[in-house]
A and B are shown apart, each in its own frame.
Chain A
Amino acid sequence: MTEEKQEEANELDQEKTENSIEENSKETQSNEITEDKSDNSNAEPQENKETESLSEPTNNESTHSESSIPKERKLVIPGEIIVSAEDNLPGDFTRNQDGNIVATRYGLAETYNRVVRVIPISGVFEPRRGNTIVGRVEDINFSGWSINIGGPYNAFLPLVECPRFINRNNIEDFATVGDVLAMKILGVKRGSVDLTLKSRGLGKLEGGRLIKINPHKVPRVIGKEGSMINLIKENTGTEIMVGQNGFIWLTGELAGEIKAEAAIDLISQESTSSGLTEKVEEFLKNYKDGEK
């Protein structure tokens, strides 16, 4: 399974997302994307936006999309006053307290069209419909698989959401406890997440290893239009599948796997620094086997 495939799958997502009601809060985002995207053949709306804007103040790699550059962003702490509520409206993770817009979550505050919102930089994966994720089978029952996707809830993949025929009596022949799957979120109901395999690029991931990073750092690992992930793939000769839940599956030669893992580690540690692509490039060039 390649990144290209995932991207294609995500293209479909984008349409879905724009139509969906539950993505109300993200509306501004998708609008922005349609405005300034020269081509649409890249990852998820949410990802994209984050990738771009995070790199904008720092990296030179963003040349187009001048219009969407959000002014300065600053790190805020819950309870910190961002601006006065007189000319601004509270958006995501903010509230109006005594005439001031106050952050309610640790993250980067930005103002866009007078709406102040906080972009989270830490925390667990919050499942949303349409997310492409990687998960590990935790349990099997008569109607499907219970899957650990990280975050607050365990997910369930019903047998009927599997694209090919599976004998009801031998569910474990397809995937058993410990197997890694690439899936998409069908829907999130109170306390339960439903998954599907019925989309392009999804399915069982054979062999390889699974590593976990903070889901908020996924956009940086993928990079602009997959630049970062392709860089790692080319330099390490591995296949990599990045789930939006921060689970990353990779396979290849052992040395390559270790190298790729080290590179991803570096990205998640230095996700806020500038010129990350160059840093990773250098890291991969100078990397020697057995070195940490």
Chain B
Amino acid sequence: MPYEKRADGREMNELRPIQAKVGVVPNADGSALFGAGKTIAIAAVYGPKPLHPAHMKKADTGIIRCEYNMLPFSVTERARPGPSRRSKEISMITENALAGVIDLKRFPGTVIDVQIMIVQADAGTRCAGINAAAMALAHAGIVMKEMISSVAIGKIDDKIATDITKEEEDYHDGEGPTDIPFTITSNSKEITHLQLDGYIQTHRFKESIEAAKIACEKLNEIQIRALKGEEIDENKEKEK
């Protein structure tokens, strides 16, 4: 059976209903919540602050330290808390995706701590995490060249679909699923992070880059609106 229609009734290039809000963690220097459909991430930023242990210090620049974690109840089968192989990988790619846009040279020898918690997971958690982290960094008054937003583009069977869900990620008919998370800067449209899990033809890959750019533009608009004080919940808007 070919993949014609998406399970949740979305268009192929449509994002899930987005949720976004800043200032959800009052104790942090900056914080944000970002949700796409059933995926919800919270990010909190602390710093720049003195760095311990001192051997990690860099004399000419500060560093960014990200920590991605899924909460035990975020998935149906309890996720064991603490660092795992997967969460360490995602922490690292988040760090690399963000490091390109933030000005770390401003405070040498310091650290910016970014903590990302996945409250509820339904695929695309790393993208939700990066989106939340970018908003939290901006909210924390960190000097940034531009914003970044992140989206997972999938090739489900032979269709390019934007912002895929867990259900789509598990679709194994036809050509099967391919999951490509992108992180793209808001102004210069540069890619700061890209992963690919599955198989894809070169020309289809080019298509997916275009789809990602369009989706990220929409996401960026939402991030800006949220940072300007709006509390966005497209789930509720739909109900009305």
Contacts and interface: CB of A to CB of B under 8 A. Distances in A.
A80 B228 CA distance: 12
B108 A79 contact: no
B141 A106 contact: yes
B141 A79 contact: no
Contact of A104 (B108, B110, B145): B145
Given A77-B224, A78-B144, A153-B50, A191 B109 contact: yes
Interface string A116-141: 00001111100000000000000000
A260 to B, nearest CB: 20
22 contacts: A77-B147, A77-B224, A78-B101, A78-B147, A79-B147, A79-B187, A79-B220, A93-B143, A97-B187, A104-B144, A104-B145, A106-B138, A106-B139, A106-B140, A122-B30, A123-B29, A123-B30, A152-B47, A152-B49, A152-B110, A154-B50, A190-B109
A102 B107 contact: no
A107 interface: yes
B146 A78 contact: yes
Contact of B48 (A93, A97, A107, A152): A152
Nearest to B111: A152
Contacts of A77: 138, 147, 223-224, 227-228
Contacts of B49: 124, 151-152
A105 B50 contact: no
B109 A124 contact: no
A185 to B, nearest CB: 16
Interface in B82-115: 101, 103, 107-110
Given A78-B144, A79-B147, A95-B145, 12 more contacts: A77-B223, A77-B224, A78-B145, A79-B185, A122-B29, A123-B29, A123-B141, A124-B29, A151-B48, A152-B47, A152-B48, A190-B109
Interface string B123-155: 000000000000000111111111100000000
Interface residues of B, number: 33
A255 interface: no
A152 B101 CA distance: 19
Contacts of A95: 145
Interface residues of A, number: 27
Which 6 residue pairs spanning A and B have beta carbons closest together?
A123-B141, A79-B146, A78-B144, A122-B141, A152-B48, A152-B107
B186 interface: yes
B47 A107 contact: no
Contacts of B50: 152-154
Interface in A27-77: 75, 77
Nearest to B223: A77
A123 B30 CA distance: 8
Interface string B186-203: 111000000000000000
B110 A153 contact: yes
B48 A124 contact: yes
Interface in B219-240: 220, 223-224, 227-229
Interface string A136-178: 0000000000000001111000000000000000000000000
Contacts of A81: 187
Interface in A169-225: 190-191, 216
